[in-house]
Chain A
């Protein structure tokens, strides 16, 4: 039977062919290009325009920011002189020397230089406090401490080479070594509850480290500034708004009418008022309502306002997560005989919070960037610090360098938060598949 058609068919494959590479146009670099950048006429036009734009802008930017930049100068005039001497009349370049000179101010504001190890130590402890919350094991902490020590060593070498002096062994180094070793030895998942106690103790430790007390010299909050202030406001707002937001969200969905009304009014009021208004209230009006002579710290007032503001937004994000859960989950929890808090803690919130992660992180990032608004009530956050620096005739005339530096620092923080959120989503999705 099979022979019948042997002559009618021109060719019959007798063996399995080796797999061939796909056509050139659909694989490799060329394939990626045709599929992604030149798949249609409109796509091609967009690609060409974008490349043209990059070619048009990039060389100028690199020339300004890198090739023609000046890192060491006493004043903007010296910067301009150096650039003119090196690259001819009319050349422009970035004068990063201002960042170099005012780096300490951008980091700590007017915090006394001799006490700056305290915010440093608070920052190290912040990492220690954050890792048990963010990860399952303590291994990332060991890595972070290692990176920190390496950075510190590099900085010391740099300082040695440029004639400055950086103390290598300080409180931060010791803390980093201790916690790094602890994390290596006792870093398994089982020890996490013990580490979490450190997290709960952190706010107290940070308060005394930053403001003083317990034998430490007191530091006026008017001396807080720069990214230290941003971090204090941002971290407090983030850490405070999540639990407050959860409570508010639960309250708003509660069956108790008065509690529900209070939570709803609070959330709607705060969401209906711009943050800047609340900051003005914190900075000026609150003074009138408090008994005269009360010295209610401006930074503390701002911290409270920012936390309340963020918690209202957080409450709505979490309420969205709660509403997204099927009713069956609530009923199942009730059917198991769990009381309200047990059912929330064990069944409802773990699921609701997981759904809300992108929204929560979004609120965090928004809050972190909103901290720059405090410059309007004259707190010395990085943006607020720009004005007194630029008013010094040594640097008057510089604009872009400072904005770029601040934007870069904010980008690092916000990008890190965003990546962590994606990491967390992936990890929790893996739990779904199990």
Chain B
């Protein structure tokens, strides 16, 4: 297909010397799959289950982020309600600060939460509401932390929203007591407990003898985040969203961090070893080896069986951040699949260089792609599987291609060793579905 000249620089094949041009705003007029800063902030902070999440802006920003992501909580479910100031014309003219202050009062009276996050939106940004000042006053008046999130949508992509969320978390960390936190203690950053994934990871760590202080933000709680600075190590998954918190905590509290991924056998084992090595405790290292061995052995036979069916089949993936792409390329290789196309919404230059090393020479790498391009590549490379999110799913199905959601709407936990098996099962089920033999384009091919 013809790419706009401007777009061509954002697409390469992995074997080319040329770098992917990225980290740039989408061309106006694109059917971009990207979202905005507000979206980024909201997905990062919303799993904190005992906080109020108040969207200061028009109803849409609240409605579209109301419980769309299965970020599970083992306790309170307050995060699953939708709170909104529903800014109307009157406030656009006279300002929305009074309404925000009043909304906070009304909310606290009803729900008596541990704290509140107030999300600024395009609208309240452009009318000039001082969200920070209102939050400061509300904190004093209501006796709970009320934290502004400067997530005006026009400030950039999701990535910029992640930074705003991290700055909000930074205000909270360091405000709680750290007594009783042991030396082998960690925080888990960048896991949102989709389909209960953080419980799996926490399970491994606890078996290793590691104490988990705070989870950010999956199954998160205000009080544990407040004392997160008492932990001795930060484990950062989904590096794009949470590395900046880890960096801040390193500067402020001297807490080191490791960047890991819990997706894929290799990466998951590596993550646990990194943690064990950091603490340098021989007992812990031994336990970690045992866990990795036992968990790997538990899933390998199934992976081998699945691999026999999938060997040589082709996959394409389009995800938000690059770290997920790295893990997926490796996880797909583990089950015998080739990656024909890999794209991200917000990858950086170093990410794409790393992706080039990981992928085959003819893998198409694309930054900030759109459905038209992707549909053409999926057909051109005749792939068997597409991995993406809600907007990519129906495109795959229209083409008669298997699909796996690795985004908000996945219903099966894919993290950890057992997650590898779940991922393989899901990929196998969709790629070998008998339905593809009924779809015109692929009729008779899917079951071969």
Task: Indicate whether A and B interact.
Answer: no
Residues of A within 8 A of B (CB): none
